[in-house]
Structure 1
Amino acid sequence: MAEQGVPPVPSPAAMSYPAASVGLPTGPEVLRTYSGAFICLEIIFGALVWILVAASNVPVPVVQGWVMFVSVTAFVCSLLFLCAYLCGLVHMIPVNWNFMDLSFHFFAFVFYFGAFVLQAAVSSLANLMRNENSTVLHLSNHKIGLNVAATIFAFAATVCYGCSMVLGFRRWRQ
């Protein structure tokens, strides 16, 4: 029988790995939080940016290539991040998930802000360069509309990543 007041000796396996630090619930309950809702919106808006830029036939490949890279990469990473919470993998991987959440959303916010600015530049230049003497960029009204819609959804995705970053910062500081 163990003595009173003496803590049990922990096993070496329990001492070798730090416990996972998780601030969000796992499973379907994560979808009931603000962070889960923002991650879902990030996935939806990121997919719309990706689809709309691809549908415009990428008239400025250098600039919109970056927009496509950011939107596809952020889409995949957000989807993996959400799946890790839905499947409960956050309890199996010993990582500070609050810091991972903050750092992921910070970098996604910075990159998406840059992508939004570049997409807005393409949309505004296409609108200004519509006269007949211009050789810079000739777009039909349909492609201009696709680029403007992609700009709006890139802004919405940027705002969602910013809100997720703020919520992640609050969880990390607690």
Structure 2
Amino acid sequence: MSNTAQAMGHLPSGTGVCTTVPDMFYIPELIFDALVWCLVASTYVTPSNPQGWVMFVSVFCFVITFIWFFIFLCGGHRNSAGWAAADFAYHGLAAFFYLSSSVSLAYITLTFGPLLDLKYYRMDISAVVFSFISTLLYFIHAIFSANRWKTF
């Protein structure tokens, strides 16, 4: 096995989580999840169903990503192929959830946003942008996690 395959098939722990390619996305994911969460929570919830889905996705992904990051940071994953597969599965699911919530948030912002106060409309636009950035981060993390899982 080559050195690149060994390096790719290794699950880091400790501060190595902040330096390896798929795992260095944890911090930006947490930041953008929190931004979406705060921006959607501070606007009017009209209509409530799509906004509730966006809130669920942002809070769910923030909490699970934080737990996942903490497990990797503490070395609780034991460097197994099962953890690599679970890492890929979670980030793929999070990317799918975020894509669905981003599209619904963009639709609601375009439909009902101009009816709101300009301050809340701008906050909704910011939430849409940050939500699509989160989608991109989770998608990229899922792609790199799939490559790492494949090399195990």
Do these two structures clear the TM 0.5 threshold for a shared fold by scoring above it? yes
Q: Which residue of 2 aligns with 1:123?
A: 109
Answering whether residue 68 of structure 2 is matched by residue 91 of structure 1, we say: no
Tell me, yes or no, if structure 1 residue 63 matches structure 2 residue 40. Answer: no
Distance 1:144 1:64 in 2: 14
Q: How many residues align?
A: 143
User: Is the Cα–Cα contact under 8 Å of residues 45 and 51 in structure 2 kept in the other structure?
Assistant: yes
**Runs of 4+ off more than 6 Å:** none
CA contact (8 A) 2:13 2:74 kept: yes
Specify the alignment match of 2:123 in structure 1: 146
- RMSD between superposed Cα atoms in Å: 1.5
d(CA) in 2 for partners of 1:30 and 1:96?
18
Q: What is the DSSP-based 3-state SS (H/G/I as helix, E as strand, rest coil) of the residue aligned with 1:99?
A: helix
Which amino acid in the other structure matches residue 108 of structure 2?
V
Question: What letter matches 2:14 in structure 1?
Answer: G
Unaligned runs of 5+ in 2: 1-8
Structure with greater contact order relative to length (CA < 8 Å, sep ≥ 6): 2
Alignment of 1:21-170 (within 5 A): 23-91=10-78, 96-127=82-113, 130=114, 138-170=115-147
Stretches of structure 1 that go unaligned for 5 or more consecutive residues are: 1-21, 131-137
Q: CA deviation at 1:95?
A: 6.7
Q: TM-score, normalised by structure 1?
A: 0.78
Structure 2 length as normaliser, TM-score?
0.89
Deviation at 1:29, TM superposition (A): 1.2
What do residues 100-120 of structure 1 show as CA deviations (whole Å, max 9, x unaligned)?
Answer: 001001111111100000110
| Structure 1: distance between partners of 2:63 and 2:15 | 19
Q: Which has the higher helix share?
A: 2
The structure with the larger Rg is 1
